[in-house]
A and B are shown apart, each in its own frame.
Chain A
Amino acid sequence: MRFDSAEEGLAAQADLPEDALQWSARLRRAGVAAFPPGRLLPDRQPAYVASWIYVFGALTLAALAIVVASGMVLAIEGPTWWHLSRVGLFVNSMHLWGVELFFFFMVVHLWGKFFMAAWRGRRRATWITGVLSFVVSIAAAFTGYLSQQNFDSQWIGTQAKDGINATGAGAFFNVLNFGQMLMWHILLLPLAVGVLVIVHVLLVRRRGVVPPFAPDPGDLVASEAVTAATDLGVDGMAAR
């Protein structure tokens, strides 16, 4: 059989019956079943998402992108540059304020989801990955304080060592070991945060954005009750 392009040839070779049991075919089928393209990147959101409180997850992601990008530039140029040059100081400040905004938005996002009980509707894993992202991000931020390469980081390191040693973790997590803290800060912890955030976002796409609590019919006048019933279908997804 002849094909006009490599893409055509590859498409024709996918999903052949004799290959159905191969790991690649099974993984592809599972991936498409769990994340059909329309759900992975939808064009519309449910009606209840039209509220400012639903914006803070995306704002957190935007701040994280700024943090990662500015951190990459800092890693390329090094501490002399970020302490002494004007552009270096600017990028260093952008990294710091990106982190400030990242935590600011993440905490508002966390409060919003907590009061919505966002673990409802088989969203426990979404909630748990969010909590883990928060905790690991705190560790990433703390190791960032230790990686500044100035008197502040030395002071924080000497203050932190007693607390870490009291937990018993000091034997393998030495806050006075600059090289170790830098590696945690620029490699291990960002990797962990990145993986957790990607899984978190994929779970949000898979299970959908959590709907608000259905209003108590007793609290509504008749016309509002009809509107609410129309807006909220099964699991709160927009019925229209």
Chain B
Amino acid sequence: MTRVTQAFVARLADSVINLNGPGRYVHWGFIQISVANLVVVALMIVVFVAAIFLPFPEHGRRDR
């Protein structure tokens, strides 16, 4: 990868999400949580709900 391409990819990644700075926090009453941790918690909830409701592939079941 050339230096120009590397710089372009880095700039592109920065434009989507730039983690090079102080963290951002959400304050809600006595609750204080970083946006990064809030995103992870939200993702866990999404994955948990998806794991319950998404159908599991049935191939390989010999007993049906």
Contacts and interface: CB of A to CB of B under 8 A. Distances in A.
B63 A47 contact: yes
A98 B56 CA distance: 25
Which of A52, A56, A100, A104 counts the most B-chain CB atoms under 10 A from its CB?
A: A52
B58 A52 contact: no
B41 to A, nearest CB: 9
B56 A108 contact: no
A41 B51 CA distance: 25
A50 interface: yes
A104 B39 CA distance: 12
B61 interface: yes
Given A104-B40, A108-B48, A108-B51, A50 B56 contact: yes
A13 interface: no
How many interface residues does chain B have, given as a range?
A: 10 to 19
A79 to B, nearest CB: 22
Interface string A80-99: 00000000000000000000
B44 A52 contact: no
A240 B63 contact: yes
Nearest to A111: B48
A interface: dominant SS? helix
Q: Which of A47, A53, A100 has the most CB of B within 10 A?
A: A53
Contacts of A44: 63
Contact of B61 (A50, A53, A104, A111): A50
Contact of A53 (B40, B43, B44, B51): B51
B51 A56 contact: yes
B63 A51 contact: no
Interface of B: 40, 43-44, 47-48, 50-52, 54, 56, 58, 61, 63
Given A50-B58, A240-B63, A112 B48 contact: yes
Given A52-B56, A104-B40, A104-B47, 16 more contacts: A51-B51, A52-B50, A52-B54, A53-B48, A53-B51, A53-B52, A56-B51, A100-B40, A104-B43, A104-B44, A111-B44, A111-B48, A112-B48, A112-B52, A238-B63, A240-B63
A28 to B, nearest CB: 33
Interface string A45-62: 001001111011000000
A52 B51 CA distance: 5
Interface string A194-238: 000000000000000000000000000000000000000000001
